[in-house]
């Protein structure tokens, strides 16, 4: 049942993104930014944690999870060190994922010829 919930949740998030892309003038960058902000707001109100409890990896895979992680890190940093802790904890929490994404994109660009 956990696999089914993860599959459906991740699939629904992706379907929503595809519908927005097909029926609006938003680009992929707009939708990515929108989903990160949605992840931030849903975590701020405690909704994303409930979604993670229900769907597990199905909620942690889409880009909305990046917003969830950013908001968690910012709130923890603010509780520990006040206003200045926002950026410090934010970067330490997400740096591994960002570095991995940049490294993978670099090697993909070396292997494949990009279209201009």
Find the domain containing 78 and state its range: 2-111
Segment 18-25 mean pLDDT: 95
* pTM attached to this predicted model: 0.80
Whether 38 maps to a domain, the answer reads yes
- For 28-66, the pLDDT digits (tens) are 999 999 999 999 999 889 899 999 999 988 888 888 988
Distance from the first to the final alpha carbon of the chain:
44
Whether 116 maps to a domain, the answer reads no
Whether 87 maps to a domain, the answer reads yes
Quickly state the pLDDT bin for 116 (edges 50, 70, 90): low
What DSSP character marks residue 46?
Answer: T
Whether 22 maps to a domain, the answer reads yes
CA 89/CA 74 separation, integer angstroms: 6
Taking CA atoms, 115 is separated from 9, 109, 112, in Å, by 32, 11, 9
Whether 29 maps to a domain, the answer reads yes
pLDDT score for 1: 67
Q: For residue 18, give the nearest of 38, 35, 5, 42 by alpha carbon.
A: 35
Count of the separate structural domains present in the chain: 1
């Amino acid at each position: 049942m956990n696999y089914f919930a993860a599959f459906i949740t991740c699939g629904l998030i992706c379907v929503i993104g595809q519908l927005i892309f097909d029926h609006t003038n938003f680009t992929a960058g707009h939708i990515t930014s929108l989903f990160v902000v949605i992840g931030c707001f849903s975590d701020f109100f405690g909704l994303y944690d409930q979604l993670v409890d229900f769907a597990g990896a199905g909620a942690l895979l889409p880009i909305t999870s990046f917003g969830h992680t950013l908001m968690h890190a910012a709130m923890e940093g603010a509780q520990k060190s006040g206003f200045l802790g926002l950026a410090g904890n934010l970067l330490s929490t997400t740096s591994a994922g960002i570095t991995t994404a940049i490294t993978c994109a670099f090697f993909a660009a070396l292997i494949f010829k990009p279209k201009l």
